[in-house]
């Protein structure tokens, strides 16, 4: 059978990776897909660099429309990234009846509903395994492998840059800024590192996971996002003393009242596998009612790990190319006419436990005042210790873990605690998840 022809939009790290993997494993891939997968055109801003890799084998152009408009191209692979022109080009490809493979989490988090609706109307596939956790086949696992389950929650380390920074801060006792510079030098960070360190990149990925886990539309606007830039080395140390590691987690949960969607630094018990995921690695825990807790671990970025996901999508699309559209696996795991409309819970309705650090005057009655306020707010203390003040120092830190509490009660209690004259600085608080 004739090879299926693909057009690459973008030829950066991932594009080059996909090209190399396709060439190197061509035989194996053909045996799996049932026919060859051939790169028939590349559109890229700087044609010279791409030509240096592909030579005369593949036509390289600078105008993406020249690829999208070619009748012989079956699949358009969008690897440009960002919101625009990626969205417009993907919609153009769909309108021309092309299948699309994309690694673009930001575009899908924001415009995914529009893109999937256009693809459904046109009867084409849009595959996006590479958009979440790089080489880990988490989309496939959720959409197909776990399809028997009612998914209860997902908790994942889905941004390698921030995990690398937290790991290095803990292991080497380095401040945040020094480690960020190193992450950028190693090429982990997004073009705009605020997307990594402020949790935005993780929120994009989490919004996609949430949609396919619960059968709801993608809703990035519902995500609560808090990054790691303000995290102090001492909190990482104190958490360790209490038996926890701090990880930037993306968490989405189905509760009795709605869906939680949140990204924030989180204390995780050291004995959990997730707490021991170090460096730029990614890992995703999924709790299904039938299967229990499952864990997916691997590289979340990089040329060939991400290419592994892109090529897997190419094989999937190739296998389904001639199938009737109604037999395609639904883009968001659930049939489009069976999507649920569940409420999204604001962060102040989240129920979780907390770590507090309070800088206080070292004098009688301080702890009694604080615990009274917590008791009034129905917040129960799980563990507590006080740092030994240094010689001559008249202030100290109180470190506390709470049992589960509603965030709005915690907000109110913290406001009252911060008004005490003996509490000398804003209360530091970090959410905690047992992930049992």
Give the whole-angstrom CA distance, residue 33 versus residue 2. Answer: 12
Number of residues that bind ligand HSE (CB under 6 A): 11
Shortest distance in whole angstroms from residue 284 CB to ligand HSE: 12
Q: Which is nearer to ligand HSE, 111 or 429 (CB)?
A: 111
Query: Hunting for tokens 């804003």 — which residue is that?
Result: 426
DSSP secondary structure letters along 22-79: HHHTHHHHHHHHSS-EEEEEEE-S-HHHHHHHHTTSS-EES-HHHHHT-TT--EEEE-
3-class DSSP state of 208: helix
Q: Which is nearer to ligand HSE, 8 or 189 (CB)?
A: 189
Min dist. Cβ of residue 157 to ligand HSE (A): 9
Question: What is the closest distance, in whole angstroms, from the C-beta atom of residue 277 to ligand HSE in the complex?
Answer: 12
Would you give the distance in Å from CA 423 to the centre of its chain? 36
Which positions from 169 through 208 interact with ligand HSE, judged by CB under 6 A?
188-190, 196, 201
Cis before 85? omega within 30: yes
CA 108-41-186 angle, to 5 degrees, is 55
Of 40 and 280, which CB lies nearer to ligand HSE in the complex structure? 280
Return the DSSP state at 323. Answer: S
Q: Which of residues 225-254 bind ligand HSE (CB under 6 A)?
A: none
134 sits near ligand HSE (criterion: CB under 6 A): yes
Minimum CB–partner distance for residue 300 and ligand HSE (Å): 5
Please provide the distance, in angstroms rounded to a whole number, between the alpha carbons at the two ends of the chain: 50
HSE-CB at 138 with a 13 A cutoff on CA atoms is 33
Of 161 and 252, which CB lies nearer to ligand HSE in the complex structure? Answer: 161
Mind telling me the catalytic residues? 205
Length of the chain: 436
For 410, residues 6+ apart whose C-beta sits below 8 A from its C-beta are 354, 377, 379, 402, 429
* Contacts with ligand HSE, 282-311, as mask; x by CB under 6 A: ------------------xx----------
Q: Does 167 bind ligand HSE (CB under 6 A)?
A: no
Answer yes or no whether residue 156 interacts with ligand HSE by CB under 6 A.
no
The residues with which 61 forms a beta bridge, in sequence order, are 43
206: three-class secondary structure by DSSP: helix
Site for ligand HSE in 320-339 (CB under 6 A): none
Stretch of 30-38, 157-165, 247-255, 367-375 contacting ligand HSE, by CB under 6 A: 157-165
Return the range that interacts with ligand HSE (CB under 6 A); candidates 56-64, 155-163, 238-246, 351-359.
155-163
Quick one: 46 exposed, middle or buried, by C-beta within 10 A (0-12, 13-18, 19+)? exposed
Cβ closer to ligand HSE: 134 or 377? 134
Residue 218 or 301 with smaller CB distance to ligand HSE: 301
Smallest distance, Å, CB 4 to ligand HSE? 26
Least distance (Å) from ligand HSE to the CB of residue 161?
3
Out of 39, 90, 140, 161, the only residue in the binding site for ligand HSE (CB under 6 A) is 161
Q: How far is the CB of 45 from ligand HSE (least distance, A)?
A: 20
Query: Is 416 exposed, middle or buried, given 0-12, 13-18 or 19+ CB atoms closer than 10 A?
Result: middle
Residue closer to ligand HSE by CB (options 196, 313) is: 196
Which segment (13-21, 153-161, 208-216, 329-337) binds ligand HSE by CB under 6 A?
Answer: 153-161
SS3 326: helix
Footprint of ligand HSE (CB under 6 A): 134, 159-161, 188-190, 196, 201, 300-301
């Amino acid at each position: 059978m004739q090879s299926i022809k693909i057009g690459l939009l973008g030829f950066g790290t991932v594009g080059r990776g996909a090209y190399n993997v396709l060439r190197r494993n061509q035989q194996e891939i053909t045996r799996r897909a049932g026919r060859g997968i051939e790169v028939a055109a590349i559109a890229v801003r700087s044609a010279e660099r791409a030509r240096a890799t592909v030579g005369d084998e593949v036509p390289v152009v600078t105008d993406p429309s020249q690829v999208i408009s070619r009748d012989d191209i079956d699949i358009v692979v969008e690897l440009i990234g960002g919101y625009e022109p990626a969205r417009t080009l993907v919609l153009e490809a769909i309108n021309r009846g092309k299948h699309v493979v994309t690694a673009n989490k930001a575009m899908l988090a924001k415009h995914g509903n529009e893109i999937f609706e256009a693809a459904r109307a046109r009867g084409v596939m849009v595959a996006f395994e590479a958009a979440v956790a790089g080489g880990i086949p988490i989309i496939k696992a959720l959409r197909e492998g776990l399809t028997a389950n009612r998914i209860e929650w997902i908790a994942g380390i889905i941004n390698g840059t921030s995990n690398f920074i937290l790991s290095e801060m803990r292991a080497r006792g380095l401040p945040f800024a020094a480690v960020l510079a190193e992450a950028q030098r190693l090429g982990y960070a997004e073009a705009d590192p605020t997307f990594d360190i402020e949790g935005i990149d993780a929120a994009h990925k989490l919004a996609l996971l949430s949609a396919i886990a619960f059968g709801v539309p993608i809703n990035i606007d519902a995500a609560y996002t808090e990054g790691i830039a303000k995290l102090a080395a001492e909190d990482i140390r104190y958490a360790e003393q209490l038996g926890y590691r701090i990880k930037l987690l993306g968490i989405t949960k189905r509760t009795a009242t709605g869906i939680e969607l949140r990204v924030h630094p989180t204390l995780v018990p050291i004995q959990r596998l997730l707490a021991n995921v170090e460096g730029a690695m990614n890992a995703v825990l999924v709790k299904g009612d039938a299967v229990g807790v499952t864990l997916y671990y691997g590289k979340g970025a990089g040329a060939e790990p991400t290419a592994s996901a892109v090529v897997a999508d190419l094989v999937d699309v190739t296998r389904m190319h001639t199938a009737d559209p109604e037999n395609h696996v639904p883009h968001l795991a659930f049939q489009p006419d069976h999507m649920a409309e569940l409420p999204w819970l604001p962060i102040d309705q989240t129920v979780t436990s907390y770590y507090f650090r309070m800088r206080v005057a070292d004098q009688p009655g301080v702890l009694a005042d604080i615990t009274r306020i917590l008791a009034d707010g129905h917040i129960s203390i799980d563990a507590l210790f006080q740092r030994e003040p240094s010689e001559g120092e008249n202030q100290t830190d109180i470190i506390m873990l709470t049992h589960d509490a509603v965030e709005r009660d915690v907000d109110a209690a913290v406001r009252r605690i911060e008004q005490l004259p003996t509490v000398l600085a804003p209360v530091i608080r970090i959410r905690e998840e047992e992930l049992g």
